[in-house]
């Protein structure tokens, strides 16, 4: 399926702020790893259909996480992978 949003065509995940993995408990870490994997697969050019199949992540949720990741954080950078954590409020 072609990518519909131009701003998502060329993601530079190296610019995405990372997550403090050691601060997460095991359950949250596992859930977050699946989310990160879905984003990484998308950025590498894998089709959304294949990402859904491999990770179980719905395409609507994937696009939502991508938009959240690109939102501006109060620290002046984008939220990046921090936006994938549960209960993180992205304005």
pLDDT, averaged across the chain: 91
Whole-prediction pTM:
0.88
Go through 34-49 and write b for each residue having 16 or more CB atoms within 10 A of its CB, e for each that does not: ebbebbebbbeeeebe
Summarize pLDDT for 42-60 with one digit per residue, the tens. Answer: 999 899 999 999 999 999 9
Q: What pLDDT, on a 0 to 100 scale, did the predictor assign at position 10?
A: 77
**Domain map (residue ranges) of the chain:** 25-84
Q: What is the pLDDT of residue 74?
A: 95
């Amino acid at each position: 399926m072609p990518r519909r949003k131009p701003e998502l065509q060329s993601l530079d995940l190296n610019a995405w702020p990372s997550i403090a993995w050691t601060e997460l408990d095991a359950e949250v870490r596992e859930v977050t790893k699946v989310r990160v994997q879905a984003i990484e697969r998308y950025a590498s050019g894998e089709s959304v259909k294949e990402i859904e199949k491999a990770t179980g992540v719905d395409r609507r949720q994937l696009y939502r996480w991508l938009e959240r990741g690109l939102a501006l954080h109060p620290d002046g950078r984008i939220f990046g992978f921090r936006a994938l954590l549960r209960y993180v409020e992205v304005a």
